[in-house]
Structure 1
Amino acid sequence: MEKLLICLPYFSGFGHTRRIAAAIAEGVGKSARLIDVEVMTQDDWAALDAANAIIFGAPTYMGSAAARFSQFLEEVDTRWEHGLWVDKIAAGFTTAIHPSGDKLATLQRLSIYAAQMGMIWVGQSDIGAPVKPDMPGVNRDGSWLGLMVTEQLGQADDLPAEDLATARRFGARILLATKRWSEA
């Protein structure tokens, strides 16, 4: 089997999204490549085009993905026109300071975007407490479309360890789905 490449393009206004992207990358392992959309290079664009999977990440600001990440999505128009990302695995994650914070709207935007690109969307699968009391803190926001993280403002560790662990598990899920899809 070919060496897998899973790219994580993200925008991070205050560092939270970057930290979640890094935790997801840990779950993906050596196949992961983090891409900060604010400082993209031609090598980054080439990596995205060659990737087996792309995991999109943006904070939710004012009810949708941050404007800078939306700008990145709009820069991909020729890739859509030529079908360059068709049949790649896709997933997404977002952060916000409120438990709802309209994070679902961001994940919907990312999944619709992936559908328009002809990509195969993979959502979250972890079921935590209260359904599974032995899994406290896993998937705290109960999101299935993608990974949601609620920042804990005013706390010394504003991203709980449980959310970082869920992010690593999400990365491992995307890796597994990418392996399965790549073998088909």
Structure 2
Amino acid sequence: MSHPHYILLPANSFFIAISLIAAFMLNLFPWGVHVGMPDFVALVLVFWSIHQPRKVGIGVAFVMGLLMDVHDAVYLGENALAFTLLSYFAISIHRRVLWFPPVAQSLHVFPLFLGVQLVQLTVRLLSSDSHFPGWLFFLECAVTTALWPVASWLLLAPQRRAVNKDNTRPI
């Protein structure tokens, strides 16, 4: 094999919290109003729901959804419902997804991101006089899925052990 299989260190709860805060901050930037911008909170929620389902679950997803509802000034509960369903389905497939490399994992998480957008669109269409935004609305889930391998590499970096053992380090 050309690349080693890493035995990962336990995930630090502080790092998980920092990554969720950073994803929320990235969603606060004004580029989110453009078509095709990724949902960083959904990306990080799915990642941690798959890799650490006991630390990041439905409750964290609900709170992050409420924060996004307040930020986006949408109906209270729209993102909370979508992120809760996202976390539930990510946890339900987490054992299967972890068997694949990150590029193949992105094919498994694409339906999750598409489902989030469908839930958000359904709530918007049922609750107001809004119209269908067009098919480019679904470009966001494709861009978020394309970022999955990069997010996997970045978020797993602190957990990787060194390939070559150093006798001065305890681990």
TM range (shorter): 0.3 to 0.5
- Name which structure has the greater RCO, CA cutoff 8 Å, separation 6+: 2
Q: Which has the higher strand share?
A: 1
TM-score (norm 2): 0.37
TM-score (norm 1): 0.35
